[in-house]
Amino acid sequence: QVQLVESGGGLVQAGGSLRLSCAASGRTFSSYAMGWFRQAPGKEREFVAAISWSDDKTFYIGSVKGRFTISRDNAKNTVYLQMNSLKPEDTAVYYCAAMDSGLGPEGSWGQGTQVTVSS
């Protein structure tokens, strides 16, 4: 049972940056990876990025490669998503999640954090 609390969202102009944080508690190490999903209005929730527990492998959806960086602080049980060069298409509610080996979400969702990128 993992509990997740997301923070760091906000309103930013295109080209700006935000840093999202996910504070985790519970048996986080039982999952394959930790990472982020996002959901824009009228769209399905989609995978964004992940980092594996075993070897720190990172995974990204193609549209964010080169702009977003996922990282983890094991001592703080916190996962971060540094988002640079933000685009209006990045506007969504961002959710942190534990993930299985297929990068599918495990456990419960947190409340999410809203990211809004203006033109």
35-56 residue pLDDT tens: 999 999 999 999 999 999 999 9
Q: In whole angstroms, how large is the CA radius of gyration of the chain?
A: 13
Q: Is residue 108 scored above 90 in pLDDT?
A: no
- Whether residue 31 contacts residue 98, with contact meaning beta carbons closer than 8 Å, is answered with yes
Higher pLDDT, 118 or 106: 118
- Whether residue 35 contacts residue 48, with contact meaning beta carbons closer than 8 Å, is answered with yes
Give residue for tokens 């990045």: 90
Q: Chain-wide mean pLDDT for the chain?
A: 94
Return the structure tokens found at 45: 């929730």
pLDDT of res. 59:
98
Give residue for tokens 């060069």: 85
Q: Is residue 1 scored above 80 in pLDDT?
A: no
Q: Decide: helix, strand or coil at residue 107.
A: coil
Higher pLDDT, 27 or 17: 17
